[in-house]
Amino acid sequence: MNELDCIINHPEGLGGDIPGRSAFEEPGIGAFHRSLPGRAPTPLIEAAGIAAELGLGKVYIKDEARRCDVKAFKILGASWAVHRLLREEPGIATFATATDGNHGMALATAARLHARRAVVFMPRGTAKARVERIRATGAVVEVLEVDYDETVRHAAATAEREGWTLVQDTAWPGYEVVPAMIQAGYLTLFREVAEQLGAFGGDPGIDLVLLPVGVGSLAAAGVWFHHHSYGDRRPRLVAVEPRNAGCLAASLAAGEPRSVAAPGTLMAGLNCGTVSSIAWPLLRDGLDGALLLDDDAVPPAMRRYANLEPAVVSGESGAAGLAALTELLTSTALEPLRRHLRLRPDSRALVLNTEGDTDPATYRRLVEGVFEG
């Protein structure tokens, strides 16, 4: 690890009021997710060994690698949005999106469940395995020679021209309804954790949550859930971004949304240059801090997951939370953030393993040292 920068958000204490209530309060999301194939809640694992190594009371891992056979949490958002859209407009024939991988896989899977067509655009440098996974669902996949932000613009323009329905997991002024559905769908993950901890209403059972950020939709759902469920007893909430795609950190530092160049990171699912416009106010007001993570912190976290008993399979983006927690607890440079978060030897932390081995060759190379030709 070279260096790890962080932002202390609201240094004076807890953040302000959290907007965006109505978009999240749709009934029926949990029941809908329980109706999906492979619907069981993903496991919440207590990793006592990691807690001991890091000097924490407890470390919990929510293992989204085992979500509905798609190896990532993203199906929670895309499936709910597709369901909602078809309820309003059953005649939709084609859904389209841009993706770094997991959202596209989720949308293609949801479209197939409803016997609809999916068209998925992916940015340059996308791992072949991630393209093939999505194609295997029957979706049309096109890999472009541009970065993620430009791919999103291309998907939106093409969908508009062709009369397809765009299901994008990030919002911008004028395109906010569908991303709000997706963000709301992600709440199921946090509700499951609360149920698994037996923690609804009173003591949240955790003191710290690490929230990985690409465009910030998942983190915004996490912020909303914890603020509204627990008020000032809520856990501290910290965003995690790749150093090379720190659009949220740049925005928090500036006090307003800022796009950044995202030249590439191992954490492909987090390689986004612009924060979702509906996530931004929640993240600005509700986060306690943000970390920028270097790529080289990730493989050790993937290996630590693999060494758990039983093993947890964690892909490059999936392991960002554990990598960040490790840095947070071990880096002297992060002492101010540690203090701000009031971490103590009995603190209980939650990390999300947001993705399994969605690029198996890279996984084997980083975790097992196996190089394939």
Ligand X SMILES: Cc1ncc(COP(=O)(O)O)c(C=O)c1O
Site string for ligand X, 33-72 (x = CB under 6 A): ---------------------------------------x
Strands 140-143 and 165-166: unpaired
CB of 355 to ligand X, least distance (A): 3
Comparison of 241 and 347: residue with beta carbon closer to ligand X: 241
Q: Does 354 bind ligand X (CB under 6 A)?
A: yes
What is the rounded distance in angstroms from the CA atom of residue 130 to the CA atom of residue 27?
A: 33
Site string for ligand X, 192-231 (x = CB under 6 A): --------------------xxxxxxxx------------
CB of 44 to ligand X, least distance (A): 17
Comparison of 219 and 262: residue with beta carbon closer to ligand X: 219
Does the annotation count 128 as an active-site position?
no
CB of 217 to ligand X, least distance (A): 3
Of the listed 100, 207, 295, 357, which one is catalytic?
100
Site string for ligand X, 73-112 (x = CB under 6 A): -x-------------------------x-xx---------
Does the annotation count 357 as an active-site position?
no
CB of 161 to ligand X, least distance (A): 25
Comparison of 102 and 347: residue with beta carbon closer to ligand X: 102
Residue ranges in contact with ligand X by CB under 6 A: 72, 74, 100, 102-103, 169, 212-219, 269-270, 317-318, 354-355
